[in-house]
Amino acid sequence: MKKAYADTPEGQIHYRAEGSGKSLLLLHKASLSSDEYTELLPLLSKNHRTIAVDALGCGESDQPLFVPAIEDYARNIIHFMDALKIAKTDFVGRLFGASIGVEMAVSYPERINKLVLLDLLHVEPAVLKRAHDDFINETVVFEEDGSHLIEVWNGRRAKPPVKMEMAQRATNAYLASDLGRRAGDSHRAKFAYDVGTRLSKIKQPVFLLYSERSGLFPNLESTRKLIPECPAKLIAGTPSFPTWEKPQEYAQAITEFLEKPV
């Protein structure tokens, strides 16, 4: 697996890449990083040049000089593609990454081939507003006794209880966003983005893939109604970090969709 940086107008973007052939970009959930796809990259790279990206301000990518909206994150990924000379790509995104994928497909349709949306956040506007309000002041406030680190750890460990190794990986990613002070940017952008108004404008083939424990799959049918002829699949029993615990199942579902003729 190769790790490298690409220069964009917004700053340096870190990525992990493996394989060759047709491009496949993967974008993580809010406050994580490209490490979300570490286990998936070798499985998806058999027929693709798979590239997992740290979104602007996340992981090892540069911090932005502004507070980004989903539209800004999408534009930056287009600039990232330009830097790597990727004219068009298949795309996989989870939660925050899925919202960015939707915006890319609508605003830059000539750059996206197929779209795989993992745990896409499509809920009623009132629910979206409550979530946004919950995260409006999200930040890490440093405490002399280090209790802020325990708070970050507990937030990654307890919902639902996950293995310590995975909680540690998620904690590392959270703190990478300017020591956690900018981690809330990606959450706020996701909850401020009304994905429902964009779904009906997607023209590319879309695959919806939900984890059972995400709490979002009950909205699957209302989401499908906005995307004509959209296949969907539910992966049972998956926890908060499904690509780390069930990479084989996710890779198989994604590969089957990408390799199916349009």
Q: What is the pLDDT of residues 162-177, one digit of tens each?
A: 889 999 999 999 999 9
Residue 200: pLDDT band (50, 70, 90) is: very high
Compute the mean pLDDT over every residue in the chain, rounded to the nearest whole number: 92
The pLDDT assigned to 155 comes to 87
Asked if residue 80 belongs to a domain, the reply is yes
Range of the structural domain that residue 47 is part of: 2-123+186-259
Listed in sequence order, the residues at least 6 apart from 176 whose beta carbon sits closer than 8 Å to its beta carbon are 33, 58, 59, 60
Asked if residue 148 belongs to a domain, the reply is no
Whether pLDDT at 186 is above 90: yes
Q: What is the pLDDT of residues 134-144, one digit of tens each?
A: 787 888 999 99
Angle CA 236–249–167, to nearest 5: 75
Whether pLDDT at 262 is above 80: no
Whether pLDDT at 238 is above 80: no
Q: What is the pLDDT of residues 59-83, one digit of tens each?
A: 999 999 999 999 999 999 999 999 9
Asked if residue 150 belongs to a domain, the reply is no
- Which CA distances in Å does 135 have to 76, 130, 187, 188? 23, 9, 7, 6
Asked if residue 22 belongs to a domain, the reply is yes
What average pLDDT does this structure show over 214-240?
83
Q: How far apart are CA 58 and CA 185, in angstroms?
A: 9
The pLDDT assigned to 240 comes to 78
Q: How far apart are CA 29 and CA 210, in angstroms?
A: 13
Strands 89-94 and 22-27: parallel
Q: What is the pLDDT of residues 24-33, one digit of tens each?
A: 999 999 999 9
Q: Token digits for 58?
A: 């996340």
- Which stretches does DSSP call E strand in the chain? 2-8, 11-18, 22-27, 48-53, 89-94, 112-118, 206-211, 232-235
Quote the number of domains for the chain.
1
The pLDDT assigned to 128 comes to 77
Question: What is the CATH number for 36?
Answer: 3.40.50.1820
From 11-20, 45-54, 208-217, the region with the lowest mean pLDDT: 208-217
- Which CA distances in Å does 255 have to 27, 92, 98, 127, 133? 16, 11, 17, 33, 37
The pLDDT assigned to 197 comes to 93
Asked if residue 87 belongs to a domain, the reply is yes
Residue 159: pLDDT band (50, 70, 90) is: low
Residue 160, preceding bond cis, omega within 30 degrees? yes
Q: How far apart are CA 197 and CA 61, in angstroms?
A: 29
Q: How far apart are CA 153 and CA 150, in angstroms?
A: 5
Asked if residue 157 belongs to a domain, the reply is no
Asked if residue 178 belongs to a domain, the reply is no
Whether pLDDT at 196 is above 70: yes
Specify the higher pLDDT residue, 62 or 155.
62
Asked if residue 33 belongs to a domain, the reply is yes
- Pair 240, 159: CB distance under 8 Å: yes
Q: Give this prediction's pTM.
A: 0.95
